[in-house]
Amino acid sequence: MPAPAATSPAMGHRGRRVAITGYGVVAPCGLGKQAFWAGLNGPGITTGRTVEMVDWDPSPYFANPKESRRADKVEQFALAAAAECFEHAGRPTAAADRFGTIFATGVGGLRSTEEQIEVLIEKGERRVSPFLVPMMMPNASGAAISMRYGLQGPNETITTACAASTHAIGYAARLIAWGMIDACVTGGSESAACPIGVASFGNMTALTSSGNSRPFSPERDGFVLGEGAAVLMLEEWESAVARGANIVGEVVGAASNADAHHITAPAPGGTGAIKCMQLALHDAGLVPADIRQINAHGTSTPLNDAAEAAAVTAVFGAGAVPVTSTKGVTGHALGAAGALEAAAVLLSMEHSLIPPTAGTTQLDDGFEIDLVMGAARPWTPGPTISNSLGFGGHNGAIVLAPAG
């Protein structure tokens, strides 16, 4: 294994710098990263308990219809986002066995599982598809990306609920920073808004009853179940520079911890989130005053938003840093949420604008955060922290910085 390059400011002073050289997005508010950006600056969701890809066509991403039918929607989204990512980034020079795939999902191929259970009940065991196992398994998306692009390095899937893709990005960056690999495709995909998914989240009272997503609002009453995928290309910095890659950002820190409190509710006061953000800042070699934007988990659920607002205030001070939640537009894409939000941060840096928290017109009493509402806010891009807080007490935070 080659020795790591000289110590840099990135990834907690522990090794090589990690460049972001491309990304791709599939989301209901926009297919492709620039359409996604336009969607993030659009109106909030007011249409129901789910927001899904309308008229989704997987055919451009597969050789033939048979191939696409054998892939669950979650895998189709992943391959579509990966295609844009490779088009944007180009092909890194990393050897195949030092080119990893660290991917994420919350539930995997739930749609295929539901469909084939119906087949079993209605038509019998012999009619169940022999392709169900590779369609439903959570690692299908990462496996498909790895096979399509010949990536022979570590191919691992993280399934830490709603924190999964933030964890994946942080882990992928560490593998590069520590010299274990030289490039990595990372991110997450999700498509769980099928009847069983909606019924289960609805019956646990996690979903909105009003059909709105309003993060940090006094009127918030649950999340809108979203779907989509985002894929990022990470590379060792010097290699990216040497091949003339267009570096769009840098992963400078990441952290992961657990509330160890409750299967669905966050720890009171956001104690786990406080520690997670502090760990991410330490990993990045930064202090709270260095952070210029916070992309909040901001799900529009009563307990989550209250805990996160308290945690942000505890770490950064009252109203000290602009905060936004993109879930007012995207809904909550579960295991893909962190990857979509990382893409939103990169676009925010590109356009020098912080997108507004769509759907929210008033900040809840007692929340001492500077929530961006109404319209995008101009800013000078700088280090940004993105939070993901998952069921089971999983917390994740990554710190992204502009290129250079």
Catalytic residues: 162, 297, 332
CA distances from 354 to 175, 181, 194, 373, 377 (A): 30, 33, 32, 10, 5
Report the C-alpha gap between 389 and 257 in whole angstroms.
10
Q: Return the structure tokens found at 355.
A: 């997108």
Question: Which residue, among 222, 285, 228, has the nearest Cα to 56 in the 3D structure?
Answer: 228
Instruction: State how beta strands 18-27 and 249-258 pair.
Output: antiparallel
> What is the rounded distance in angstroms from the CA atom of residue 384 to the CA atom of residue 345?
7
How far apart (Å, rounded) are the C-alpha atoms in residues 312 and 329?
Answer: 22
d(CA 32, CA 26): 6
CB 276 within 8 A of CB 256: yes
DSSP codes of every residue in 238-259: HHHHHTT----EEEEEEEEEE-
In sign, the C-alpha dihedral spanning 325, 328, 331, 332 is positive
Alpha-carbon distance of 166 to 389, in angstroms, equals 9
Distances (CA, A) of 184 to 23, 233, 384: 12, 6, 21
Rounded Cα distance between 165 and 198, Å, is: 21
DSSP string, 364-386: PTT--SEE--SS-EE-----EEE
Q: Give the 3-state secondary structure of residue 183.
A: strand
3-state secondary structure of 133: helix
Count CA atoms within 13 Å of residue 330 on its CB side.
37
Nearest to 144 by CA among 68, 249, 88, 214: 68
- Per DSSP, 127 falls in state G
